[in-house]
Structure 1
Amino acid sequence: MARKYFGTDGIRGRVGEGVITPDFMLRLGYAAGKVLAERSGAKGAGPGRGSRGGQRPSILIGKDTRISGYMFEAALEAGLINAGVDVGLLGPMPTPAIAYLTRTFHAQAGIVISASHNPFQDNGIKFFSAGGAKLPDQVELDIEAALDDPMSTAGRLGKAWRIDDAAARYIEFCKASTPWGFALDDLKIVLDCANGATYHIAPKVFRELGAEVITIGVSPDGQNINLDCGSTKPANLQQAVVEQGADLGIAFDGDGDRVLFVDRGGNLVDGDELLFIIALHRQQFLGGCNGVVGTQMSNYGFELALKDLSIPFERAKVGDRYVLEKMQANGWALGGESSGHIICADATTTGDGVISALQVLRALEDFGESLEALRARMKMLPQHMINVRLSHRQGVLESDEVRRAVAAAEEQLGDRGRVLLRPSGTEPLIRVMVEGVERSEVEQLAADIARAVERVGNS
């Protein structure tokens, strides 16, 4: 069965357009409740939370801070209850917190209402399985099929309850991801919480570990999530770190599954550099790092730095789902994207901005070095990308002209760089990316390939 609604990262879109409407959320809640109840074997057989002993199944709902979350939370709750499922309401919580709490409460699934790093006008839905991972493809397909079923009231309706200590539970989980006695004393940190789901979580985690914390982006109003703040807009954080004389800055995105750092000079430290620091720390202090998964967009300098450490590296398609799949296939615990979506699978089941940040800070403490000193051990290579808009994409990448242009660039670069051509998943364009040692050479080669792509795609 072809996917109609679910993408690689759940269901997402502009509120009120396409499928992102309250009516759709009501039907989605009902369909998900029916499918997950049947798979749990509970089928609304009796009162209580959880499916043990024939009790009703339970599903948790969390959300970020965008205003439409209230509306969609109510619609999903109604659909789930109508399907005979009990609903635990978590309120505003980071996406990785829902994954953790789903495991903690032995729920059949967790639902996140969020559009991550997108503006407040967007929203979406992401599911976690009982184990805190993405739902299997077949379960998503079953839910899609059930969306067409007529809604009817279950013999026993579910009930809803609010989990008042959700934030405190997750804060302790984050702190417990570090060793006993780990402290951030004498460290001055600026936190940018993107006016999103970490606004009431991250400051407490870092303060309770002893850091002096200065906050920005911690006043959500439903419409300012990711607005000129957070990991996608770090300029204010970079300025604040310098002005406050802080040791470093940390930026999360709207739902808290991504993290970027800023060093004391105000320079941005991206996900590739953070992954390198974590891998380097594991190699030297934790008995070794058996491998790291990046993506097609990971900087070539990252790959070369890991090679120098004899740490295996593989690239997955862009998207945390693909990164995690390759990590699991290889039996590796570390992977992520340059955007700052980092997965430490030996600490949690999904990308977690707070836990990833703590892994980096643990490395700084054990090495006894500053962030700028550790990042300097890896040399980022110049990367240039050109988005080529086309009248058609069919056969462009397979054409002789484009292949000759790519081959010529690869021959000139040798082992000093790489070329990547990647069709956009949402627009009629092809992204041409070249990396190498010399910026001028990289820009020229990218322009040469882009011209070939444009000629073929617009002919």
Structure 2
Amino acid sequence: MTDTLFGTDGVRGRANSWPMTAEMALKLGAAAGRYFRRDKQEHRVVIGKDTRLSGYMIENALTAGFTSTGMNVFLLGPVPTPAIGYLTHSLRADVGVMISASHNPASDNGIKFFGPDGFKLSDDAEAGIARLLDKGVDPCAPENIGRARRFEDARGRYVEYAKTTFPRGKRLDGLRIVVDCANGAAYKTAPSVLWELGAEVIPIGVEPNGTNINAKCGSTHPEAAAAKVRETRADLGICLDGDADRIILIDETGKVADGDQIMGLIATRWAEEGRLAGNTLVATVMSNLGLEQHLASKGIALERTGVGDRYVVERMRGGGFNLGGEQSGHIVMTDHATTGDGLIAALQFLGAMVETGRTASDLARVFTPVPQKLINVRYAAGKTPLDTDAVQSAIAAGEAALGTSGRLLIRKSGTEPLIRVMGEAGDLALLDKVLGDIVDAVRRES
């Protein structure tokens, strides 16, 4: 079953159910430890987590697996996912692990692996770990068992690094900022960075209890932050997800700006400053057609990839590009981070506010989106609705109806049992009908 173990962002599932069991975490730790420990020299792994209750179980099981193969483990505690990428490289670790299911509910969890360069593992590396799982891993000799210890300085190191990405000599004095940490991994780091840079910080979603991560808060539920922005007359709202690798912004009027608008702003500014490598932004097939049209008007190319920030990063590295991301709020800036970093993306936006003196609402409305709708349809275990003739016929009929005036993207989620039905078109009535027909067909087969 290991051929289905890794999804688009590591291993993920419902806690205490396959594959997110203590037994599987132990085996994964052992297999990853053996994969990266290829000689008798000292090797180390860093392990971080978000605030889910099941993180304790998975952390302990992974530690047992890694130490059984002779790996020394540094336990970082709750830190953002991008901190793992940064600290894996900074601490010269052989592998980094983040225990998180990102924006998913607290009942889920996941395991993401990072290589020694701080980037997420390639498909080939994940396949190598999966083969070791199938084969079985022999433990090391008793005298070679690894050690584990808490690394107390992880959060502070990341805070100090994040501040270096803000424009030199600038501060956030006079800005009132709401930051919603989703009761997740950044509940201490994000408010600290903003306060240390001089902002008046109004934190929400900073009381994790193990079960409230992403619960009606954070980037997937920006309503709470929008209400707080209006209530406190804040200059900006920042919404992170459970592991802080995503960001959604709220302007001073309470309006939401998604990842496409943020990428559009950063790409335009970097291009004007000569900092946009290859004069290209890398985004996924989910990004709005309006973003592509805006970039083209500025002479900036847009390259699209499959859904998942790892595929964005792979294309960025392959093409030598330094900016990419997803509409959902993953913003990857390889000049600063090896994966999506919500806080550092927020600092780029705040830097633009400080340097230009413009309001968040002015900066966040970079282009007019082409109307886009996304409907998620949950399907039962064992079902494959996209493979059925009925669903394929509905999709073909929808594409014919839209013609060249719109586009459809129908795909299976890589992290949840969902079929994502997305469409774009200027004719909203036609778009609603096309999507409705496809959704009905998927539900009948689910």
TM-score by shorter chain over 0.5:
yes
The reply on whether 1:407 has 2:394 as its aligned counterpart is no
Say if 1:401 and 1:35 are closer, same or farther in 2 by CA, change over 3 A: closer
- Could you report, residue by residue, the CA deviation over 1:301-354 in whole angstroms, capped at 9, with x for unpaired residues? 111111111110021111111111222222211111111011011111111111
Name the structure 2 match of 1:421.
410
Map of 1:149 onto structure 2: 136
Amino acid aligned to 1:115 = A
Aligned partner of 2:31 in structure 1 is 31
SS across alignment from 1:378: coil
Contact persistence 1:11–1:124 (CA under 8 A) = yes
Change (3 A) 1:427 1:64: closer
Which residue is equivalent to 2:348? 359
- CA distance change for structure 1 residues 328 and 186 in 2, over 3 Å: closer, same or farther? same
Quote how far apart the aligned CAs of 1:438 are: 4.1
Provide the C-alpha distance between the structure 1 equivalents of 2:417 and 2:210, rounded to a whole number of angstroms. Answer: 33
Distance 1:85 1:214 in 2: 41
Q: What's the counterpart of residue 120 of structure 2?
A: 134
The alpha carbon displacement at 1:445 in A equals 4.5
Q: Give the match's secondary structure for 1:393.
A: helix
Please state if 1:9 is matched with 2:15: no
- Aligned ranges 1:19-418 → 2 under 5 Å: 19-38=19-38, 41=39, 43=40, 54=41, 56-147=42-133, 148-149=135-136, 151-154=138-141, 155-288=143-276, 290-386=279-375, 392-394=385-387, 396=389, 402-403=395-396, 405-411=398-404, 413=405, 417-418=406-407
Shift of 1:370: 1.0
How far has the Cα of 1:394 moved from its partner?
3.1
Shift, 1:162, TM fit: 1.8
AA aligned opposite 1:8:
T
Q: CA deviation at 1:286?
A: 4.4
Relative distance call for 1:73 and 1:399 in structure 2 (3 A) is: closer
* Separation in structure 2 between the aligned mates of residue 402 and residue 201 of structure 1, nearest angstrom: 45
Aligned with 1:303: secondary structure?
helix
Q: Which has the larger radius of gyration?
A: 1
- CA distance, structure 2, for counterparts of residue 191 and residue 399 of structure 1: 43
Distance of 2:350 and 2:122 partners within structure 1? 33
Amino acid at match of 1:375: A
Report if the CA contact (8 A) 1:256-1:353 is conserved: yes
Moved more, 398-407 or 174-183: 398-407
Cα distance in 1 between the residues matched to 2:417 and 2:394: 19
Q: Which runs of 5+ in 1 are unaligned?
A: 44-53
Q: Secondary structure at the match of 1:228?
A: coil
Contact 2:8 2:415 in 1 (8 A): no
Mapped contact 2:205–2:218 kept (Cα < 8 A) = yes
Structure ranking higher on relative contact order (CA contacts 8 Å, 6+ apart): 2
Classify 1:127/1:405 alpha carbon distance in 2 versus 1 (closer, same or farther; 3 Å). closer
Say how many residue pairs are matched. 438
Query: What runs of 5+ residues in structure 2 fail to find an aligned partner?
Result: none
Secondary structure at 1:23's aligned position in 2? helix
Q: How far did 1:158 drift?
A: 1.2
**CA deviation after TM superposition for structure 1 residue 420, in Å:** 2.9
| TM-score (ref. length: structure 1) | 0.88
Distance 1:392 1:78, change over 3 A: closer
**Corresponding position of 1:46:** none
Give the partner amino acid of 2:164: A
Distance 1:8 1:387, change over 3 A: closer
Separation in 2, partners of 1:229, 1:405? 35
Aligned pair in 2 of structure 1 residues 13, 298: CA closer, same or farther (>3 Å)?
A: same
The alpha carbon displacement at 1:228 in A equals: 1.1
Contact persistence 1:114–1:126 (CA under 8 A): yes
How far apart are the structure 2 equivalents of 1:78 and 1:407?
55
Give the drift of 1:231: 0.6
Q: Which amino acid aligns with 2:20?
A: I
Question: 1: distance between equivalents of 2:124 and 2:330?
Answer: 25
| CA 1:252–1:428: 2 relative to 1, 3 Å | closer
Q: Which amino acid aligns with 2:327?
A: S
Deviation at 1:387, TM superposition (A): 5.5
Q: Give the superposition deviation at 1:446.
A: 3.7
Is 2:34–2:137's contact at 8 Å kept on the other side of the alignment? no
- Mark the CA change 1:267 to 1:402 in structure 2 (over 3 Å): closer, same or farther: closer
2:424 counterpart of 1:454: no
Structure 1 residues 292 and 423, CA, compared in 2 at 3 Å: closer, same or farther? same
Q: Which residue of 2 aligns with 1:49?
A: none
Spell out, residue by residue over 1:385-404, the C-alpha distance to the aligned partner (whole angstroms, 9 max, x if none).
45678985336499677535
Deviation at 1:441, TM superposition (A): 4.2
- Whether the aligned pair in 2 keeps the contact of 1:29 and 1:76 (CA below 8 Å) is yes
| Shift in Å, 1:287 | 4.6
Corresponding letter in the other structure for 1:83:
T
Show the counterpart of 1:47. none
Aligned amino acid, residue 183 of structure 2: N
With over 3 angstroms needed to count, the CA separation of the structure-2 counterparts of 1:120 and 1:402, relative to structure 1, is closer
Using a 3 Å threshold, how does the CA distance of structure 1 residues 250 and 385 change in structure 2: closer, same or farther?
A: closer
| In structure 2, distance between residues paired with 1:206 and 1:428 | 37
Report the CA distance shift for 1:2/1:284 in structure 2 as closer, same or farther (over 3 A).
same
| 2:124 counterpart letter in structure 1 | Q
Partners of 2:125 and 2:319 lie apart in 1 by 24
- Quote the Cα distance in structure 2 between the aligned partners of 1:119 and 1:429: 14
Aligned-partner residue type, residue 454 of structure 1:
A
CA-atom RMSD in angstroms: 2.6
Aligned residue for 1:3, secondary structure, equals: helix
Whether the aligned pair in 2 keeps the contact of 1:102 and 1:131 (CA below 8 Å) is yes
